[in-house]
Amino acid sequence: MMMQTRPDVVKCIFPSLTFANFLLQLKDNIEKFFTWFVEEGKATVRLKEPAVDICLSKADANSLKNFLSAARLADRGSDASSLPLSTLTPVRARDVEQPKKKLTIVSKKDYPLTSGFPYSLEQLQVSYCKLSRVDMRMLSLKALRKLDLSNNHIKKLPATIGDLSCLSELVLHNNHLESFSVALCLSTLQRTLQILDLSQNRLQALPAQFCQLRELVNLKLDDNELISLPFHIGRLSKLRFLSAAHNQLAVLPGDFRRLSLENLDLFGNPFVQPNSLDHKMNLTFPLPLQEMASRAVANLRITFGPDLIPAHLCRDLEVAKTCICSRVCVNFYIKTAVCMNLHQVSHTVVLVDDMGGTDAPVQQHFCSLSCYSEFLDNSLQRGIR
């Protein structure tokens, strides 16, 4: 919060307090004083609670020094009656700066090296500053709703971004990211993040836990090196806008069918025309006992966790596949790809290729040889290959 602070400005921070009582609230509550420019009538007092910066400007240097002296004494717990308040004069309301909520920096020369970011910021854009990592000072901005770090050189995201409990929009377009961590997927971003732009990076894959970000409405993955989309992408039930153009996607996960989008862009991916007769078989007869038990847990929707079964079995169950018969298979199945018109999952579809197509291959798993045979029979009858 940035404001010119004199007696009548106290009410902006601590409503209904007199100035003397305001000083009492400073006891053990000042994190730091910034007084480099006090002779120019400028200073900043950083409070612990609420977490705000009180920025003073256009002040008479002597009056400002008196105020800072009073604040220092108040921080130490001095009696208010002994504080030097008499020389402080009120400021006109029109001279009071309101809390700064939005800040845009698009040049390295404007990047703050010695001063911090205003604690009251809700929107922060820092672009074209050649940042190689996220400035940890940004992560103390607890009111931040939008963070735009596009067009920098960031290679890795700190897990502490997940501590920004109000963050609903994260823009990381045109950086050097090679991964998106599991920790971020399991952070408070699960409850807040609605818009995520990871376009023009170096991502080859996203973790399975990515689909825990269930508040996502708009996801941009264009111009990366993705060879697959998250296995359980269908769990993103609120997703309405998805773009993953110009990646290395050859086939879409089966869970893709569960999406309900308004706009979808998968242009420029090397999709392979599917043939139902081409398949990968990973079945044994009879099924191993572990596979049978895992299927039973999934089909009967039995609660499981690392406190009940080994962690590796939990990981297997997290990526269980669903057969066309609606039963589940885990590590033993038959896999093929089928053609799907993308209009089945999206109202508007950007053409997949220069030929004007809107079809793409989607993975299909089968829990048994009989399910696969039935599928082939139906496909052959419809003349589908």
Per-residue pLDDT of the chain (385 residues; tens, 9 = 90+): 333 343 334 444 445 445 566 666 777 888 888 887 778 788 888 888 777 777 777 777 777 787 888 788 878 877 655 655 555 555 555 455 567 899 999 998 889 887 788 888 999 999 999 999 999 999 999 999 999 999 999 999 999 999 999 999 999 999 999 999 999 999 999 999 999 999 999 999 999 899 999 999 999 999 999 999 998 999 999 999 999 999 999 999 999 999 999 999 999 999 988 887 788 888 888 999 999 999 999 899 888 888 888 888 888 888 888 898 989 999 999 999 999 999 999 999 998 876 778 999 999 999 999 999 988 888 777 664 4
Residues 303 and 190 in one domain: no
Rounded CA separation 364/278 (Å) = 12
In a domain, 17, yes or no: yes
In a domain, 274, yes or no: no
Q: Which domain holds residue 232?
A: 100-248
Residues 140 and 219 in one domain: yes
Q: What is the pLDDT of residue 45?
A: 84
Rounded CA separation 224/273 (Å) = 22
Q: What is the pLDDT of residue 83?
A: 57
Which one of 63, 98, 133 terminates a domain? Answer: 98
pTM over 0.85: no
DSSP 355: T
Which one of 72, 98, 124 terminates a domain? Answer: 98
Q: What is the pLDDT of residue 91?
A: 54
Residues 106 and 94 in one domain: no
Residues 313 and 380 in one domain: yes
Residues 130 and 167 in one domain: yes
Q: Nearest 5 degrees, angle CA 233-CA 237-CA 241?
A: 80
Rounded CA separation 325/367 (Å) = 8
Residues 179 and 306 in one domain: no
Q: Retrieve residue 332's tokens.
A: 């033993």
Q: What is the pLDDT of residue 5?
A: 40
Contacts of 97 (CB under 8 A, 6+ apart): 2, 3, 4, 55, 57
- Please compute Rg for the chain using Cα positions: 29
